[in-house]
Chains A and B, each alone.
Chain A
Amino acid sequence: MTDDHPHAEWSGVMFAMLRDAGIKLFCYIPDAGNDRLVSLAEADNETRAVLLTSEEEGLAVCAGADLVGERGILCMQSSGVGNCPNYLSLAGGGGFPLLMMITMRGDYGEQNPWQYPMGKAVEPILEALDVLTFKVQHRDDLEKSTLAVLNATSKGAQSGAIILSQKFLGAKRF
């Protein structure tokens, strides 16, 4: 892995925090924002990357891991949150402490009109289904937000999502 990947630095920091907190399964739909994080999970002997066909599968995979005392994370783009609501019943209703990492489209600097509806709906959907949100707007937020979402989900018995904004990630150019 080369260090010139645009997300190399923070992805390395976040991956180490997640792995050290015992997150084993990194379920994902590929996105430019989670590309390096998933590569790190694939390369590490303690973790495993699980390629999904649709995002909601990852919530069920993580719930299955929880049943035997293991932890997983669902990594997806904001549009994928729209595929998740029914399975988020596992959070509020089932008490599964689900963990998500969402890379935003349709917010700061977005040029693609197709991305705005789901971009705006991410937080209302998560709030409606009892998932806490922890935003990263600036590089300084990353460790604090990652620690907060890990505390909430690993220890606090909550479901939580860390949301990486486009202000932090940079908007895609068209």
Chain B
Amino acid sequence: MNTLSLLPKANLDRRQLLAQLFFNPADWLFVSGLAGASKDAAALTDDGANLFSMAGTMGAAVPMGLGLALSASARNVAVITGDGEMLMGIGALATVASARPNKLAMVCLDNAMHGETGGQTGHTARGTNLELIARGAGIDETMTISEPEQIADAAKFLVQSPGPKFLVCRVMPTAPSTYKRNMNPLECRMRFRQAFLSAG
């Protein structure tokens, strides 16, 4: 079977999505991969100290989230990534499955294109199925949503049974949030550390 036929048509608005998945963002530690995913994550958290967003190191979001989840194992950790970023570091799904952190939720905003560089076609437009890859990597808890009515169930999915969760969100090919976030990695690192460590 052509796996493209298994992929549902995207009907989610990315600018509305994260606020419905994470209705209390202050309860989470966030890592976001470059470009659109980070713009949406910054809009969600008001570029807060509980977010470390990237504007480079494509592919690093999931393994950085793993490092957080293994080191702050009592906290809910969320990775916000895109389909292109996820595929560049796709092996990290096996690393996550193998390490099995209890409270790591990975959310992939799949717009089937490389939005930041001009909207060039991505692999998921041609049949690459990220949820199947995650399952094959050994992630037991996976889900794909494509319609607004599914968001409430997806929000529950992200905090359900222990173990890493992988959620693919098929979003429409519209622009991400326009939030102007801090792009200085050193400032963002210090901001995150100070907020986390001072909270005890």
Q: Which residues of A contact B (CB under 8 A)?
A: 24-25, 48, 50-54, 56-70, 72, 86-87, 89-90, 93-96
A63 touches B64 (CB 8 A): yes
Between A and B, 24 residue pairs with Cβ closer than 8 Å are A25-B70, A25-B71, A50-B95, A54-B91, A56-B89, A60-B63, A60-B64, A60-B66, A60-B89, A61-B63, A64-B65, A64-B70, A65-B71, A66-B189, A67-B67, A72-B67, A86-B56, A87-B59, A89-B56, A89-B57, A93-B185, A94-B186, A95-B185, A95-B189
Kindly list chain B residues whose C-beta atoms are within 8 Å of the C-beta of A89.
Answer: 56-57, 185
Chain B min CB distance to A68 (Å): 4
Number of residues on chain B facing chain A (CB within 8 A)? 35
Q: Is the CB of B192 within 8 A of A67?
A: yes
- Nearest-neighbour CB distance to chain A for B101, whole angstroms, equals 10
List A contacts of B57 (CB < 8 A). Answer: 60, 86-87, 89-90
Chain A residue contacts of B64, Cβ below 8 A: 60-61, 63-64, 67
Shortest C-beta distance, B59 to chain A (Å), equals 8
Asked if B72 CB lies within 8 Å of chain A CBs, one says yes
A24 near B67 with CB under 8 A, answer no
- Smallest CB separation, A57 vs chain B (Å): 4
Q: Using known A-B contacts A93-B186, A95-B189, determine if residue A64 contacts B91 with beta carbons closer than 8 Å.
A: no
Contact for A53 among B56, B72, B91, B197, CB less than 8 A: B91
CA distance A110 to B61 in the complex (A): 36
Contact B56 A57 (CB under 8 A): no
- Alpha-carbon distance A46/B61, docked complex (angstroms): 26
Among B53-80, those with CB < 8 Å from A are 56-72
Task: Give 8 nearest A-B pairs by CB, closest first.
Answer: A64-B67, A53-B91, A94-B185, A60-B63, A61-B67, A70-B71, A60-B60, A64-B64
Chain A contacts for B9, CB-based, 8 A = none
B197: chain A residues within 8 A (beta carbon): 68-69
CA distance A96 to B188 in the complex (A): 11
B200 to chain A, nearest CB (A): 11
B99: A residues at CB distance < 8 A: 50-51
Asked whether A68 and B196 contact (CB < 8 A) given A57-B92, A86-B57, the answer is yes
* Contact pick for B67, options A25, A54, A93, A94, CB 8 Å: A25
Contacts of B59 in A (CB 8 A): 56, 87
Q: Which of B67, B91, B192 has the most CB of A within 10 A?
A: B67
Interface core residue of A50, A67, A90 (most chain B CB under 10 Å): A67
- Complex CA distance for A94 and B71, rounded to whole angstroms: 19
Is the Cβ of A64 less than 8 Å from the Cβ of B185? Answer: no
Contacts of B29 in A (CB 8 A): 67-68
Is B52 part of the contact surface with A, judged by Cβ < 8 Å? yes
- Indicate if the CB atoms of B71 and A64 lie closer than 8 Å: yes
Q: Give the docked Cα–Cα distance between A53 and B29 (Å).
A: 24
